[in-house]
Amino acid sequence: MSRSKPIPPVPAGPVRPGPGTALRPVVAGDITGGFWHGRREVNARVGIPQGPQLLESAGNLLNLRLAARTARGTFQGDYPFMDSDVYKWLEAASWQLGAAGTPGDAALLAEVDRITALVTEAQQADGYLNTWFQVAKDGRRYEDLRWGHELYCAGHLIQAAVAHHRSTGGKELLAVAVRFADHMDSVFGPEKQIDGFDGHPEVETALVELYRETGERRYLDLAGYFVERHGHGLLGGEAYCQDRVPLRVQENVEGHAVRQLYLLAGAADLAAETGDAGLLAACERLWAAMVATKTHLTGGLGAHHDEEDFGDPYELPNERAYCETCAAVASVHFSWRMALLTGEARYSDLVERTLFNGFLAGVSLDGERWLYVNPLQVRDGHTDTGGDQSARRTRWFRCACCPPNVMRLLASLEHYIASTDAHGLQIHQYATGRYTGDMAGDPLVVSAHTDFPWSGTARFTVQEGPTDRPWTLSLRVPQWCTDYRVHVAGREAAVSAEARWLRLERMWAPGDEVTLELAMAPQLVEADPRVDAVRGCVAIERGPLVYCLESVDNPGCGLDDIVIDAARPLTEETRPELLGGLVTVAARGYRRGIADRGWWPYRRPADPADPAGTAVLRTGPEDKAAALTAVPYYAWANRRDGAMRVWIPTR
Ligand code: FUB
Ligand code: ZN
C-alpha cells in the first residue's frame, strides 16, 4: 500500500460529531514521542501483530469459516460474542494503519484484508452476521436478546468498518457493516418484527458513528430507538442489561459496568447529533454520580466480580475490585464524548486518570499479557484461582474482550489528545506530538513536547495558523494540580485558569512557544469517608499517576503489615533502569508488629475513647521503621508474583 497522508478535512478518529458539540476533535493528531509513544510502539510492534494468531488459536477465525461454509467443524469458544474480538482487532489494526508512523505496513494491511474477506464471506445474504447463531444455534436468530450479543457484535463490526474506512479509504468492511445495519433497521422498531434491543449496549454508539460516516439518517434514528427502549422491562427489567429504568430518569450508574458505559457513550453521541437536552442532562447527571460515588482512585469502574457490575454508592472494595479493563476503555469513550459536547475540563481529567492507571494496567509492559480485572490490592498469601478474573497477567482469555479493546484505544489515542473550535485549539492531554485543528476553515497546527508524566513541563510550538487575527490556545489544568506557571515566548504570562482551562488568546505566529509547568510533587490522598474499604488509609499520587506498593520492592514483611507515616515527606527518584524507566516514590512507615491475639482475632479496643486508633500514628515496641517504595500502578505485576496495595493504612 502506498499512500501519502494529506491532512484530512474532517476528523479522522473514532468520533466525528456534527456541529452540535462545543468542541470538535482535531482533524489530525500524531503522537511522536514520550510516554504514550512508547506504549503505542509496543502496541504496534507486539500487541496488534499477535492478534491474528491468537484469534486463530482461540477459534474466532474458524467460526467465520464455519459460518461461510468454507470449513467444517464445530463452533469454537464459550461465548456468543466471539466475533466481537475479531472486529475489535480489525478496528485496532485499522487505526494503526492510519497512524502516522505506519502507513505502508504491508503485512498488517494484508492481515486486515484477509480477515475482512473472512468476515465478508460469513455474512448472510440479508446482511445478518453472527457466527454463534449461524453455526451453533442453527440460525435461530434473535431468540435471546438479553444474552445473544448479536447487536453488540454488530456494533463492534460497525466501529471496525468506520475505522477501516477513515484510516485506509477501504470500502469492503463498510459495505458489510452497512448491509448489517440495513438488516437491523428492517427488523427492529416499534412497528417492525421485533420491538427490543440488545442486552449489551454497543450498537447505539456505533450506529451514530455510521450515520456520521454515511449521512444515512436511518442509522441515527435506529440508535435513538435502541437507547430509548432500555429501561422498560422488555428484557426482564434487570439493571444488569440496563433495563430497570430509562436513562432519562436514572439517578446513578448501575448494572454491568461496560454495558452501562457503552450505553452512555451512545446517549452522548445522540445528544450531540439531535441536541436533545434531556439526554444530555441524563449523561451529565450519571457521569457526576458515577465519579462521586462509584469510581476507584485509578479511574477503575465496577465493584463486583458477580455480574461485573457497579456496586452501591461508596462500595469500592480494594482486593475484590473488578475494574474490568473494558470498563476503563468504555469510560474513556463516554468521557471524551462529554468533553466534546460540553467543553468541560473535568471529563478530560477522568480520561487522563483512567488512561494512566485503570486502563494502562490492563496490558503488560511487554505488550504480551493482560489483566481483565484490575484490583487495587492483592493480599499477602493470595491464592489465585487463575482464569479470566485472575490477579495475575494472562496471555489471552476465554472471554477475550479486554485485550483487543486495549489495542484499539492505544491505536487511536492520538484522537483523544486535543480538540478545536471556532476560537482555537484545546490541549486536553499532555503528550508529545503534533495536533491539527480547524478554526472555521483555517488550519491550526501546534506541536507539543513533554516528558509527561515524569515531568510536569510541556512546551508547545505554533507551527501554523492565521496571523491576521487572534486565536486561543487552551491548556487544561489537571484536577490534581494546584500550582502552575506559563511562559509565552520566554516571559511569564499572568494567566489564571477559568474552570481549569488556561486560555491564551494572542496574535500567534509560526514558531511562537508556550511553556507550561505543572507542579507534580508526590502527594498523599484520602478517600471520601463513606468509602469504608479505605477509611484510615492514604494513597500516593504523583501527577496523573496513582502509585502502589509491590512486595518485590518492599521485602522483609508482608504488605498487609505495613503502616505509612503520613506526616513524613515523600521523596521521588528517577529510575531509568526499572520497568522501562519510571519515577518511584519513597515514604516512611512501619512494619506493624502484631501482638499475639490468641485464638480469637477480635478484641476490645486498647483505647475506648479512640476505638479505631485514629488520633495518632501509634507505634508499639515491636513495630519497626520501614522505608516504603512505591511504583506507578500501571507498572504493577510485571515482575514476580506477589502482593500489591494502592491504599496504605496510616495507623
Ligand atoms: O459481554 C461481552 C463482554 O464480555 C463484556 O463487555 C465484558 O464485561 C465481558 O463480560
Ligand atoms: Zn473486557
42-88 pLDDT tens trace:
999 999 999 999 999 999 999 999 999 999 999 999 999 999 999 99
User: Residues of CATH 1.50.10 domain(s) within the chain?
Assistant: 24-378+385-416
Minimum-distance ligand 1 atom for the alpha carbon of 200: 1
- Return all residues near 4 (Cβ < 8 A) that are at least 6 apart: none
pLDDT score, position 596: 75
pLDDT score, position 621: 58
pLDDT (mean) for 319-325: 96
β-strands 582-591, 562-564 pairing: antiparallel
- Residue 534: DSSP 8-state: G
Q: What is the pLDDT of residues 479-531, one digit of tens each?
A: 999 999 999 999 999 888 899 999 999 999 999 999 999 999 999 999 999 99
pLDDT (mean) for 259-283: 98
Q: What is the pLDDT of residues 139-194, one digit of tens each?
A: 999 999 999 999 999 999 999 999 999 999 999 999 999 999 999 999 999 999 99
pLDDT score, position 100: 72
Q: Which ligand is nearest to the CA of 148?
A: 1
Core vs surface per residue 56-85: b (16+ CB within 10 A) or e: eebbbbbbbbbbbeeeeeebbbeebbbbbb
- CA separation, residue 500 to residues 1, 263, 348, 474, 496 (Å): 44, 28, 11, 10, 8
Higher pLDDT, 122 or 440: 122
Return mean pLDDT, the chain: 95
Cis peptide before 103 (omega within 30 of 0): no
CATH number, domain 422-518: 2.60.40.1180
Model confidence at 477: pLDDT above 90 = yes
Distance 459 CA to ligand 1 centre (A): 40
Residue 548: Cβ within 10 Å count: 28
pLDDT (mean) for 6-25: 86
pLDDT score, position 557: 82
pLDDT score, position 336: 98
Minimum-distance ligand 1 atom for the alpha carbon of 262: 6
Contact between 424 and 41 (Cβ < 8 Å): no
Residue 431: Cβ within 10 Å count: 29
617 — pLDDT class (breaks 50, 70, 90): low
pLDDT (mean) for 257-277: 98
Higher pLDDT, 307 or 4: 307
Contact between 339 and 19 (Cβ < 8 Å): no
Q: Which residues line ligand 1 (CB under 6 A)?
A: 81, 200, 258, 308, 324, 326, 399, 401
Core vs surface per residue 264-276: b (16+ CB within 10 A) or e: bbbbbbbbbbbeb
Contact between 129 and 212 (Cβ < 8 Å): no
Catalytic residue among 153, 241, 283, 401: 401
CA-nearest residue for atom 3, ligand 1, is 401
pTM above threshold 0.95: yes
**Residue 401 annotated among the catalytic residues of the structure:** yes
User: Residues of CATH 2.60.40.1180 domain(s) within the chain?
Assistant: 422-518
Model confidence at 464: pLDDT above 70 = yes
CA–CA dist 86, 83 (Å, integer): 5
CA-nearest residue for atom 1, ligand 1, is 200
598 — pLDDT class (breaks 50, 70, 90): confident
Top mutation candidate among 147, 198, 200, 203 for ligand 1, by most atoms within 8 Å of CB: 200
Top mutation candidate among 132, 399, 402 for ligand 1, by most atoms within 8 Å of CB: 399
**Residue 216 annotated among the catalytic residues of the structure:** no
Q: Which ligand is nearest to the CA of 308?
A: 1
pLDDT score, position 101: 66
pLDDT score, position 528: 97
- Return all residues near 173 (Cβ < 8 A) that are at least 6 apart: 90, 116, 119, 120, 157, 160, 161, 164, 165
CA–CA dist 11, 416 (Å, integer): 11
Q: Which ligand is nearest to the CA of 371?
A: 2
Range with the poorest average pLDDT among 138-152, 334-348, 604-618: 604-618
- Whole-number percent of the chain with pLDDT over 70: 96
5 — pLDDT class (breaks 50, 70, 90): very low
Model confidence at 618: pLDDT above 80 = no
pLDDT (mean) for 396-419: 98
pLDDT score, position 341: 98
611 — pLDDT class (breaks 50, 70, 90): low
Model confidence at 201: pLDDT above 90 = yes
- CA separation, residue 400 to residues 27, 63, 255, 372, 503 (Å): 32, 15, 21, 8, 43
Fold classified for 24-378+385-416? Glycosyltransferase (1.50.10)
605 — pLDDT class (breaks 50, 70, 90): confident
Minimum-distance ligand 1 atom for the alpha carbon of 84: 2
Short-list 647, 645, 505, 635, CA closest to 575: 635
Model confidence at 612: pLDDT above 70 = no
Model confidence at 4: pLDDT above 80 = no
Which three cell numbers, joined as nine digits, stand for 599? 485464638
Q: What is the pLDDT of residues 248-259, one digit of tens each?
A: 999 999 999 999
